[in-house]
Structure 1
Amino acid sequence: MKNGIVQSMSRKGNCWDNAPMESFFGSLKAELVHGARYPTRDVARRDLFAYIEGYYNRQRLHSALGYITPDQAELRAA
């Protein structure tokens, strides 16, 4: 806790706490990062930002959301 960060730990018998993030990182690795070589961290950051904001949140359909995008789900919830 040196930097004020507390690790997220699932409780015993509750394996769903991290499932959304594990799903996201699995998609990120399969759709963007696997096999990619970035010459600098800035190039990697730009690519990741473009994927998340330009594709994952605005275009990619999510089965858990009823095959709509996260942006559409957020608008419906508002």
Structure 2
Amino acid sequence: MTSPSALIPCTWNDCFARSIASICITLPPAHKPSHETTRSGRRPSHNVLAETINGLYKAEVIHRRGPWRSFEAAEYATLEWVDWFNHQRLLEPIGNIPPAEAEAQYYAMLDETPLDA
């Protein structure tokens, strides 16, 4: 079986798409406190959370639906997955509603809350 990356030519334009599909988790050394930030000002735990989503994406889209015949096919599948992840996936901790709906409710609540002077 041909790997998905072998079917997509490596050009400058698709480097971003390849970086989305790659997993490269960098954890701080054991002697550093976990609250220390990196040069970019982010905590290493933020990178771990992002890489968790990348791993989920890779497992559900890239490996399960591949091999890919073109970059455009992989890109379209990615857009479909992101739409599902944000607008159709139901999350039990927030009341079995999609994340986008919970976000809309949150901002609507902020708009309704009167500010005390």
Identify if the C-alpha distance between structure 1 residues 62 and 26 changes in structure 2 by more than 3 Å, giving closer, same or farther: farther
**TM-score under structure 2 normalisation?**
0.47
Q: Which residue of 2 aligns with 1:47?
A: 77
**Partners in 2 of 1:73 and 1:24 — Cα distance?**
19
**Partners in 1 of 2:90 and 2:54 — Cα distance?**
16
Alignment of 1:1-78 (within 5 A): 12=32, 13-14=34-35, 15-35=44-64, 36-53=66-83, 55-62=84-91, 66=94, 67-78=96-107
Greater C-alpha Rg: 2
**TM-score under structure 1 normalisation?**
0.65
**Contact 1:10–1:17 (Cα < 8 Å) also in 2:** no
RMSD: 2.5
Q: Aligned pair count?
A: 68
TM-superposition CA deviations, 1:26-45 (whole Å, max 9, x none): 21112111141111111111
**Partners in 1 of 2:86 and 2:62 — Cα distance?**
17
**Contact 2:91–2:99 (Cα < 8 Å) also in 1:** yes
What is the aligned-residue identity percentage? Answer: 25
Structure 2 residues not aligned, in runs of 5+: 1-25, 36-43, 108-117
Structure 1 residues not aligned, in runs of 5+: 1-8
Structure with higher helix content: 2
